[in-house]
Amino acid sequence: MEEALGEDCGGPPEGQLLIGRRALTVCLSRSTNSLCRLEDSMDACALWERYKTYLVDHPSLGLRLDISRMKFGPHFFEEMAAPVERAFDAMAQLEKGAVANPDEDRQVGHYWLRTPSLAPTPEIATQIEHTVARIETFAQAVHSGKIRPPGADRFTDILHVGIGGSALGPQLAQGALGKSTDAMRIHFLDNTDPDGIERVLSTLGAEGLSRTLVLVVSKSGGTKETRNGMLEVQAAFRKLGLAFGPQAVAITAEGSALSKVATQENWLEQFPMWSWVGGRTSQTSAVGLLPAALQGFDIKAFLAGARDCDEITRLRDARRNPAMVLALMWLYSRSAGVAKDMVVLPYKDRLELFSRYLQQLIMESLGKSRDLSGNVIQQGISVYGNKGSTDQHAYVQQLREGIHNFFVTFIDVVHDAQAAPTFVEDGQITSGDYLLGFMLGTRRALYDNDRESMTLTIDRMNPRALGVLIALFERAVGYYATLVGINAYHQPGVEAGKVAANEVISLQKQVMQSMRSSKQAATVEAIATSIGRPDQAETIFKILEHLSANPGRGIKKHPAETPFNARFEAVD
């Protein structure tokens, strides 16, 4: 911010929150300044009045946001008005097509996916609309049996191969919306773990694979985990004498390595990924829509929910805009100069994966070491969670009485279930009543011990509500990033990890070539020295331990009195 807040605190500031190149001076405890915490818990009546004052209620979305148990001061929204206006302006420019990811010189267009008319060119709008229509047509053809596998009358299962944003969104949708009567069953390969891959493939079995539609999802086609999963599945198909191409669909960028493979091998279909949609914000693109449509979910309702939430979260009234309120509460939680974790506790089994979804969306977007001006900063919000009331028997003990380094986001779903209720107590109390009781009880227990929380309430869990939730947090992330002056739409840390992993694989190849040439057993240190990489002895030790422990890898270990004196040799 250009100006410093809290200069009337009656003394020098006790803390600062760095926002880009500007310092937001924060009064921590000595006045009623907006960023000061309310040190004392309120009694029930006062808390009820605060609840009514700050409740963000949008019946058209089936959404309420309660921030009464976040202890910001009475002038918080007034004094945040200037940075909030700048955040609104930046979001408006983003939606018009301004470059919002300067590090990669890219537009950011996931909001266009649910409102194509917002796209900056007619060509982009047409591509979006055409893709949704193709997805609906394709899913209908699969369900009717018009599109079928070569050896069966219809596809019954989906095998989704992808990782990160390409998998977390579809996994969330399956958990939130799936039921036993879905049009197709879905299975996921979201890692390069051979045991995990084998477990999924064995679950499908030979007969199941013959009726499985394989979705391979990778924008570039160069993601190693996804490539490995695809190659493992192709090998399983060959082993069973099945043709892979007629049962495979690619979701990828035009001209990518994956697209070239799909074209050369005559895959069944391809659907697009665009440079202006990041993986973690891709659930309203083909990445999320295709598996959802194939399972029989109402993707029009899902898109409508996201679109309606986008409209509400464009409101330039911070007090009525739930996404801006979330972003401001995240900012407030750092106002004492201490980064606090966000604990996500949805009291609904169907939202068990929501904390994992938000982990990527928030942590990959906001965990940055530099601001937009290149200054070194430390930004990020660590996200973890469980489901209620499972959390009651997991880590609520620490939340209430352990280290105070977090705030909680409770999620309440008002509608219990489709089935008629079963009364478990006194002929009038249901399991759902207890679920609400545990949520309210946990929230009260935390508040009574000075632990802050927000409560997000939705009417029911359905495709439209899922669209609302996803759009809400996507925009909250965008607003927060502008408030603190960072780029939310790149992930250099992820790329650094990929580069380092490739270096490990290159080192392994070098080690294997040297050992096969020498044909002599040697210690790790000797092997590292022989290839001129003594600095990589630890990595080589891990590589050789792994290879020698797995059959058929061509490395034998000769144990010694310590692991470091063990000798390794290449064998046929």
Residues belonging to the active site: 364, 393, 498
Order of strands, edge to edge, in the sheet holding 522-523? 522-523, 567-570, 555-558
Alpha-carbon distances, residue 477 vs 122, 199, 374 (angstroms): 27, 36, 20
Alpha-carbon distances, residue 367 vs 305, 328, 379, 409 (angstroms): 28, 17, 5, 19
Phi-psi region of 380 (alpha: psi -120 to 50; beta: other; left: phi over 0): left
CA distance 63 to 457: 6
CA distance 228 to 232: 6
**Cβ(313)–Cβ(324) under 8 Å?**
yes
Sequence-separated (6 or more) residues with CB below 8 Å from residue 160:
167, 170, 186, 187, 188, 189, 190, 215, 217, 291
By three-state DSSP, how is residue 98 classified? coil
Order of strands, edge to edge, in the sheet holding 157-161? 185-189, 157-161, 212-217, 248-252, 269-272
Burial status of residue 81 (CB atoms within 10 A of its CB: 0-12, 13-18, 19 or more)? exposed
Alpha-carbon distances, residue 371 vs 276, 360, 368, 475 (angstroms): 21, 20, 7, 19
List of E strands, 366-450: 368-370, 376-379, 383-385, 406-413, 423-425, 429-430
Sequence-separated (6 or more) residues with CB below 8 Å from residue 47:
68, 69
Alpha-carbon distances, residue 490 vs 108, 194, 375, 506, 549 (angstroms): 10, 30, 16, 26, 38
- Taking the chain, what is the end-to-end CA distance rounded to the nearest angstrom? 66
Phi-psi region of 251 (alpha: psi -120 to 50; beta: other; left: phi over 0): beta
> Minimal CA–CA distance to 475: which of 322, 341, 300, 345?
322
Alpha-carbon distances, residue 236 vs 55, 140, 212 (angstroms): 54, 28, 12
CA distance 247 to 150: 8
Count of beta carbons in the 10 Å neighbourhood of residue 514: 17
Burial status of residue 264 (CB atoms within 10 A of its CB: 0-12, 13-18, 19 or more)? exposed
**Cβ(37)–Cβ(336) under 8 Å?**
yes
Element (H, E) at 124: helix 122-144
What does DSSP assign to residue 60?
T
